[in-house]
């Protein structure tokens, strides 16, 4: 099921997570954020996706990092951008036939729609109206476009799952 034994040239800790044939590898996710990465991508396994997750593996760039590998799915730029909110150091590798054909860093989007829910109980978006949440991405944190609430930390806790 794994071809790990063939590949001792790379980051050997990465081998704890199986190689994928085609799909996306999200690397250098901040330690402990992998499940939030899946949540933000709306991946919960119910669609039968093959997903491997490595959590808190040692890394040179980050003391501990998470890795998420999604078989059979190439992430769109939008999805990648949203990831930057909780995994600002992440690198995205698009894999086809075991080859990395594209590698890029995440970049923060200007606006995130329908992904986070506003923590302000007085905000109109939390009261059953037919609107998606919408947040402006600030240098540090996000701000609700409707009520103006700024969230700096704990953005992952706002992920609408």
* Residue 10 near residue 50, CB atoms below 8 Å: no
Q: Does 113 bind another protein (CB under 8 A)?
A: no
Q: How far apart are CA 101 and CA 83, in angstroms?
A: 20
Query: Residue length, the chain?
Result: 161
In the list another protein, Zn ion, none, the entry touching 122 (Cβ below 5 to 8 angstroms by class) is another protein
Instruction: Give the strands of the sheet with 142-144, arranged side by side.
Output: 111-113, 134-137, 142-144, 150-151
Q: Does 122 bind another protein (CB under 8 A)?
A: yes
CB of 146 to Zn ion, least distance (A): 5
Output the CA torsion 38→43→44→47 (10° steps): -160
Q: Is 116 helix (H, G, I), strand (E, B) or coil?
A: strand
Contact string (CB under 8 A) for another protein, positions 53-92, x = contact:
----------------------------------------
Listed ranges 47-55, 91-99, 105-113, 121-129: which one lies at the site for another protein (CB under 8 A): 121-129
In the list another protein, Zn ion, none, the entry touching 47 (Cβ below 5 to 8 angstroms by class) is none
Question: In degrees rounded to 5, what are phi and psi of residue 32?
Answer: 90, 0
Q: Does 127 bind another protein (CB under 8 A)?
A: yes
Listed ranges 41-49, 59-67, 72-80, 146-154: which one lies at the site for another protein (CB under 8 A): 146-154
């Amino acid at each position: 099921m794994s071809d790990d034994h063939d590949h001792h040239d790379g980051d050997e800790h990465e081998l704890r997570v199986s190689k994928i044939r085609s799909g996306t590898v999200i690397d250098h996710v901040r330690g402990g954020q992998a499940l939030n990465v899946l949540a933000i991508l709306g991946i919960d396994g119910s669609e039968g996706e093959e997903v491997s997750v490595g959590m808190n593996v040692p890394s040179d760039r980050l003391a501990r990092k998470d890795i998420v590998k999604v078989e059979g799915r190439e992430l769109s730029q939008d999805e990648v951008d949203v990831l930057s909110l909780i995994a600002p150091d992440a690198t995205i590798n698009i894999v086809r036939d075991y080859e990395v054909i594209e590698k890029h860093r995440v970049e923060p989007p200007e606006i995130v729609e329908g992904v986070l829910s506003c923590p302000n109980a007085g905000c109109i978006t939390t009261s059953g109206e037919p609107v998606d949440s919408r947040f402006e991405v600030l240098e540090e944190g996000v701000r609700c476009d409707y009520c103006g609430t700024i969230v700096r930390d704990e953005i992952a806790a706002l992920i609408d799952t």
